Amino acid sequence: MNATLDGDVVRAAGDARQRFHDARGYGRASGPDVTLARVEAAHLLYRGDIDSVSGMDFRAFFRDSVAGESGFAARFLVYADLRERGFYLAPARAGWPGSADGRDAGADNTDDDSDGRHDDADILVFERGEKPGGPVAHRVRVVGEREELAAASLGGRTLAVVDEESEVSYFACTADGGFDGRTEYDLPDDLDADLLDDRVVCWSPPVDLYESAFYGQPISGRDDADVDALQLSLVEAADLAARGAVALDADAVIERGRAVEGERFDRRLSVYRELRDRGVVPKTGYKFGADFRTYDAVETVTDLPHSERLVRVVQPDHRFHPRELALDVRLAGGVRKRMVFALAGDDSNDYLTVERLTP
Amino acid sequence: MNATLDGDVVRAAGDARQRFHDARGYGRASGPDVTLARVEAAHLLYRGDIDSVSGMDFRAFFRDSVAGESGFAARFLVYADLRERGFYLAPARAGWPGSADGRDAGADNTDDDSDGRHDDADILVFERGEKPGGPVAHRVRVVGEREELAAASLGGRTLAVVDEESEVSYFACTADGGFDGRTEYDLPDDLDADLLDDRVVCWSPPVDLYESAFYGQPISGRDDADVDALQLSLVEAADLAARGAVALDADAVIERGRAVEGERFDRRLSVYRELRDRGVVPKTGYKFGADFRTYDAVETVTDLPHSERLVRVVQPDHRFHPRELALDVRLAGGVRKRMVFALAGDDSNDYLTVERLTP
């Protein structure tokens, strides 16, 4: 069967509507014919279901499409991979199944953006067993591994990253940190403490400050030590100073934090405070390359649960490099934690959970 | 017992030489007395072995030392941690045990640098059971988690990173990639290929190009495909073009690589080529957040071994952020690979292997 290129779509007549659209969920019906997006037509050529598009075989049509549509090669690879996994798909595109119609002026998100994306997605994946137009399982955003991605645009999308060797990795992005803070404790008043370089030492602290509230790290953990002291990080100390628990000027601690860390300190402190306010315990995530690891519910440090999440604090306009995203999410998965990005803004923080996914 | 601060050292008399130097390896002997570095004196105060230094208790002396020596707090924590692990230690310092004497003008590395480091180290750890001055097990460089580190200065050193909550992580750094390339294959001549966007498609390639030499990724892996093609990454294609295996202009491929990746492409290609020349097979490390994963010996892709290393390509003057180092090395360990940094220079590449260590 031969099909015809018509602007940015491909039209097929004869029994194409029955064979490709009705039976296998390609394209959109146009009266007796079927209209295919380029990615759909390329897939049918690739499978040998159609022989040519306006005289072009797969190789020629693929070249023509790569030249004509930005990101086509990656989109084709993801389309083929998801079809192989047994899903019905549609390009996310005004008027295609599952997307609002560009002609419906009353609907939200009716227009495709300048990259041809509709509603920040490239491909809609329908729930297993559902035909095009049914419930959507994944709104897939396709990116090459070299493209940067605005963190704020990813909530509710499934990211398909095509690496330089054309393998596809999937990530589910949820606009929620998923925290369920249930840690309770009382804080002391005005403890004696020294601000020393880039940390704080708190002298002869009550046991519960570490053991229940899980602030700091004892310097006196050694059997042979003669000293009773708790070391606090600067975020911990700034938080405790603001709550009146240590006798230090909170602003002086914050100034020291900015001196050693720049404005990143303010963002980290903002997230730290919010998590503490929500009953979550953040501790350093250094060993996992993150800002914090977090515990929803600490009863005692002696009987510490597994920390559930790693948190990386970023700016609200942060753009991910897909390679860094792969690194963070893979590491978190390897230590049975969820990876959460905190988009720390001036007035409030947003959270984005990213997980690896096998569709 | 009381000791006395004298410039940047502490002097103790009486039975101090016998008790601290001869029996327990602190300080250097000065006639009948012992001379202690600040970190050694602080440790003796912390343990209650001496009562004061020029009237200062542990708290006062610690404050005074933090004010007087850059990085003192981190150095103290590492010193105490290593002592706790049962090692004899000495500050890396001209004239202290294990370091060359600053007064010996003929020796290399006789002077301490402006940070007080001797031979790029802060603390010498002697082999287990060895007294100060015996064989050195670790030349320890101490850093806070916020300090950047010149990659080129780390070979042969053990890095002790003190995180913001005062936990210490150790990394062994070796100025060698440890590659043992044993992969052999023949390449074809002038294969038909298209440069398409940020990848190359090679049409109807010989089976061995993928199966033995492990170049590319078949686009025709699917059972239902009608197309026989191998996708190549741009580094793979540039390497194959330079070797005459694909009929593409190597410079055109390199130009495309620079267009999508900048000058980073040249560095990655230089490392890729060198590894191929040495019989090592580099494939993308994207899923591990690295530039490459590498195989020393590939017989066939059907029977592919575990890849042994992850390689991240950096500039020769690269400075590590300790948090990124922790992330890379931890991830590599979690997937049973070694982490190698390739310092890609204009004329040659150097390699640095970094591993977590428990002293």
Residues contacting B7, CB < 8 A, separation 6+? none
- Do A122 and A32 belong to one domain? yes
Would you call B194 and A231 a contact, using CB atoms and an 8 Å cutoff?
A: no
Comparing A97-111, B41-55, B85-99, B228-242, the range with the smallest average pLDDT is: A97-111
**What is the reported pLDDT for A31?**
87
Between B116-130, B159-173, B189-203, the lowest mean confidence (pLDDT) is in B116-130
Q: Which residue, among A67, A72, A80, A157, has the nearest Cα to A116 in the 3D structure? A: A72
- pLDDT (average), residues B300-329: 95
Q: Where are the beta strands (DSSP E) in A264-328?
A: 281-284, 292-295, 309-314, 319-320
A337 is catalytic: yes
Q: Which of B9, B35, B69 finishes a domain?
A: B69
Residue A98 belongs to domain spanning: 2-144
pLDDT greater than 50 at residue B190? yes
pLDDT at A200: 96
Q: Tell me the mean pLDDT in the region A94-103.
A: 78
Residue A107 is predicted with a pLDDT of 45
Residue B176, in any domain of the structure? no
- Beta pairing, strands B123-126 & B136-144: antiparallel
For residues A58 and A165, the answer to whether their CB atoms sit within 8 Å is: no
Note the pLDDT of residue A137: 96
- Chain A, 215 to 244: residues with Cβ < 8 Å from chain B are 216-217, 219, 222, 224-227, 229, 231, 233-236
The tally of CA atoms less than 13 A away on the side-chain side of residue A175 is 10
DSSP, residue by residue, B251-314: HHHHHHHHHHHTTHHHHHHHHHHHHHHTT-EEEE-GGGTSSEEEES--S-STTPPPP-EEEEEE
| CATH assignment of the domain containing A132 | 3.40.1170.20
Q: Is the pLDDT of residue A103 over 70?
A: no
Q: Are residues A135 and A13 both part of a single domain?
A: yes
Q: Residue B331 in contact with residue A327, Cβ under 8 Å?
A: yes
On the question of pLDDT at A101 being above 90, the answer is: no
One-letter identity of residue B268:
R
Q: Is the pLDDT of residue B108 over 90?
A: no
CA neighbor of A285 nearest in space, from A335, A249, A324: A335
Each residue's pLDDT tens digit, A3-13: 999 999 999 99
Contacts of A199 in chain B (CB under 8 A): 73, 164, 166
Task: Render pLDDT for A51-85 as a digit per residue (tens, 0 to 9).
Answer: 999 999 999 999 999 999 989 999 999 999 999 99
Q: How much is the pLDDT for A105?
A: 41
In-domain check, residue B321? no
Minimal CA–CA distance to A132: which of A95, A81, A173? Answer: A95
Cβ-based contacts under 8 A for chains A and B: 174
Q: Are A139 and A6 members of one domain?
A: yes
Distance from CA of B282 to the nearest CA of A (A): 11
Which of B85, B164, B170 is the best mutation test for A, with the most CBs of A within 10 A? B164
Question: Given B230, B262, B294, which residue is the final one in a domain?
Answer: B262
Query: Does A189 lie in the same domain as A139?
Result: no
**Is B331's CB within 8 Å of A326's CB?**
no
> Is residue A294 a contact partner of residue A311, using CB atoms and an 8 Å limit?
yes
Q: Does A63 map to a domain? A: yes
> Are A15 and A140 in a shared domain?
yes
pLDDT of residue B119: 80
Secondary structure (H, E, C), B102-118 = CCCCCCCCCCECCCCCE
Other CB atoms closer than 10 Å to residue A139's CB: what's the count?
20
Q: For residues A211 and A140, state if they share a domain.
A: no
Residue B125 covered by a domain: no
A74 and A196 fall within a common domain: no
* Contact between A98 and A92 (Cβ < 8 Å): yes
What residues of chain A lie within 8 A of the CB of B68, using their CB?
none
Distance from the Cα of residue B35 to its chain's centroid: 34
B248, part of any domain: yes
The nearest alpha carbon in chain A to B356 belongs to A287
Distance CA A33, CA A281 (A): 60
Contacts of A144 in chain B (CB under 8 A): 198
pLDDT digits (tens, 9 = 90+) for A111-147: 677 667 888 899 999 999 899 999 999 999 999 999 9
pLDDT of residue B116: 72
**Residue A111 confidence (pLDDT):** 66
Residue A58 near residue A104, CB atoms below 8 Å: no
Would the pLDDT of B249 be above 50?
Answer: yes
Task: Characterise A52 by phi-psi region: left (phi > 0), alpha (psi -120 to 50), beta (else).
Answer: beta
Structural domain count, chain A: 2
Selection from B292, B200, B202, B209 nearest residue B254 by Cα: B200
* A123 and A8 within one domain: yes
Q: Within a domain: residue A357?
A: no
- Of A43, A118, A283, A337, the catalytic one is A337
Whether the per-residue pLDDT at A223 is higher than 90: the answer is no
Give me the interface pTM, i.e. the ipTM. 0.89
pLDDT above 70 coverage of chain B, percent: 95
Q: Are A22 and A112 contained in the same domain?
A: yes
Go through B326-351 and write b for each residue having 16 or more CB atoms within 10 A of its CB, e for each that does not.
bbbbbbbeeeebbbbbbbbeeeebbb
Q: What is the pLDDT of residues A244-259, one digit of tens each?
A: 999 999 999 999 999 9
Per-residue model confidence (pLDDT) at position A106: 44
Domain's final residue, options A207, A242, A267 = A267
Establish if B146 belongs to a structural domain. no
pLDDT in tens, B321-350: 999 999 999 999 999 999 999 999 988 999
Residue B30 lies in a domain: yes
Interface contact flag, B323 A260, Cβ < 8 Å = no
* A32 and A95 housed in the same domain: yes
pLDDT of B221 reads: 53
Interface contact B47, partner A, CB < 8 A: yes
A328 in B contact zone (CB under 8 Å): yes
Residue A70, H or E segment: none
**A306 a catalytic residue:** yes
In the predicted model, is pLDDT for residue B25 greater than 80? yes
Question: Are A6 and A138 in a shared domain?
Answer: yes
B287 part of the active site? no
Q: What is the mean pLDDT of residues A307-318?
A: 97
Same domain, A135 and A189: no
Say whether A47 and B226 touch across the interface (CB within 8 A): yes
Residue B294 has pLDDT above 90, yes or no: yes
Tell whether A194 lies on the interface with B, counting CB pairs under 8 A.
yes
For residues B142-171, average pLDDT:
94
pLDDT surpasses 50 at B104: no
Exactly one of B138, B283, B318, B337 is catalytic; name it.
B337
Interface check for B122 against chain A (CB to CB < 8 A): the answer is no
Ramachandran quadrant class, B166 (left: phi over 0; alpha: psi -120 to 50; beta: rest): left
